[in-house]
Amino acid sequence: EAGVAQSPRYKIIEKRQSVAFWCNPISGHATLYWYQQILGQGPKLLIQFQNNGVVDDSQLPKDRFSAERLKGVDSTLKIQPAKLEDSAVYLCASSLARGGLAGGINEQFFGPGTRLTVL
């Protein structure tokens, strides 16, 4: 079974530039998550999708971050414009959904992440 795919693996940009990350979840996984992991910290949820609908985006800085999952499969996370403090690893994860939104009891499968450096 193929895992969660992410690209690119590494990205270096100047502040105020824009960047986009792509994620393809495990086939059949309805729930998709984007996390930000700053060095020395645990992952922090940015946004959670159930199919193509947003379940939770309460920690997404909406003035600069956006995400979409148009067909309920792969997803794109964008930052525009980037700030120095956005330097982090961006992780995508997916999980099965059982019983609707209570599918949060399912384990999440993580991709390898995209390491973003903002100079």
Partner 1 sequence: AQSVAQPEDQVNVAEGNPLTVKCTYSVSGNPYLFWYVQYPNRGLQFLLKYITGDNLVKGSYGFEAEFNKSQTSFHLKKPSALVSDSALYFCAVRPSYSGAGSYQLTFGKGTKLSVIP
Residue 110 beta carbon to partner 1: minimum distance, rounded to whole angstroms: 4
Nearer to partner 1, 14 or 42 (CB): 42
| Cis? peptide before 61, omega within 30° of 0 | no
Written as six digits, the tokens of 8 are 């690119």
Nearer to partner 1, 45 or 81 (CB): 45
Beta strands in 1-119 (DSSP E): 5-7, 10-13, 19-24, 31-37, 44-50, 53-56, 65-68, 75-79, 88-95, 109-110, 114-118
Residue 21 beta carbon to partner 1: minimum distance, rounded to whole angstroms: 14
Nearer to partner 1, 1 or 40 (CB): 40
Sites of contact with partner 1 (CB under 8 A): 3-4, 40-45, 48, 55-56, 58-59, 91, 93, 101-102, 104-105, 107-113
